[in-house]
Structure 1
Amino acid sequence: MADAEVRDAVPSDAAEIARIQLTTWRTAYTELLPAEVLDGLDSAAAEQEWQQALTGGPATVLVATEGSWVVGFCAAGPAPEPEVAAANGSLPPDADAVVLVSALLVEPRWGRRGHGGRLLGEMAQRFAGTGAARGIAWVPEADTASMAFFRSAGWAPDGTVRTLDAGGRPLRELRLSGPLELQFKNS
């Protein structure tokens, strides 16, 4: 494997992040999302959204590289209250110390090479250094690859579920939660 690393994303990465997002969704989510939703994904709009995220925050965005290629990305930031709240709306005692991993994707052709672990590990380390103690991520229940990845990092469903409207089809997501001191285990 060529040199692999994780670095801060810069505005010029927006197009590649958008391409990876759309490619990964169209590859990995064909069973989860209706074809018309996947076909309707707009690369220009996605690039513009990533450009805004990279220049205006509030998320921290990292990219994984292998050689000269950007192969994946992770976006995270302090978890907004609605994301960390229990189903009844109550906030946990550590609500101010929770990080939301809003996106973590590695392009499928670069998968199973440690990029996801490096991205999550670097993000966790950065936020732990600011006093954060726990991370959360919403993952489609049927996305077994992402579920296995987060479980290998020590994260597990915390009992909170949400259902999104995915083009007229319900998409059930589980909230996973875990420590920022990651210890990856083979799954």
Structure 2
Amino acid sequence: MKIRRAVPEDAASIARVHVDSWRTTYKGIVSEDYLNKLSYRKRQEMWEGAIPKGHVFVAESPDGRVVGFASGGKERTGKFPLYDGEMYALYILEDYQGSGTGKKLVYQLAGDLKKAGLHAMLTLVVENNRARYFYEALGGEKIGSDEVEIGRNSMVELSYGWKDLQRIL
């Protein structure tokens, strides 16, 4: 699996992974109506704006297909003063989950955030999303929780943090 920095031409592929991953990961957690309304076009437009700002990485299969991505940057909420960085997104197509791709993407992102002068990182994950166990296995500690609404469904969103990016690397 090749991990590399995303380029603007990856926006459509990242959008596909983003939408398809949501539809498999959140099936039974978020309403089917909400998942069906996710738009490749809207996600592509979002990623076209985000990629040039940096800290976006893709995982390519041996045949050159984008099968996962991670993005991050400065922590956005201000609720966690000990955590200056944030992993905004980590999504991998279902067929590639459990292959080590997620770890490689997290390591690449953490290294890039460290090079950018950030020292700690957090990420947010819906409590019913099994990815929370992946973050725990990577040494993430539960540092908070919040009530959120996604598609008219109320749920708990957990915050996991790593106090030192070096420990992830």
**TM-score of the pair, normalised by structure 2:** 0.92
> Of 91, 94, 99, which residue of structure 2 is paired with 1:113?
99
RMSD: 1.6
SS of 1:112's partner is coil
Deviation at 1:63? Answer: 0.3
Counterpart for residue 137 of structure 1: 123
Structure 1 CA distance, aligned partners of 2:73 and 2:35? Answer: 26
Rounded to whole Å, the distance in 2 between the matches of 1:129 and 1:165 is: 34
Give me the identity figure in percent.
25
Residue 17 of structure 2 is aligned to residue 31 of structure 1:
no
Contact 1:14–1:51 (Cα < 8 Å) also in 2: yes
Structure 2 portions without partners, runs of 5+: none
Q: CA deviation at 1:131?
A: 2.8
Structure 2 equivalent of residue 19 of structure 1 = 16
- Does residue 64 (structure 1) correspond to residue 59 (structure 2)? The answer is yes
Q: Pick the structure with greater CA Rg.
A: 1
Q: Which amino acid aligns with 2:46?
A: E
Q: Is the 8 A contact 1:138 1:175 kept in 2?
A: yes
Q: Distance in 2 between matches of 1:165 and 1:156?
A: 23
Unaligned runs of 5+ in 1: 87-91
CA deviation string 1:76-114 (max 9, x = no partner): 00112xx2415xxxxx2x45xx21101001111111111
**Which amino acid in the other structure matches residue 56 of structure 2?**
V
- Distance between the aligned counterparts of 2:47 and 2:65, measured in 1? 18
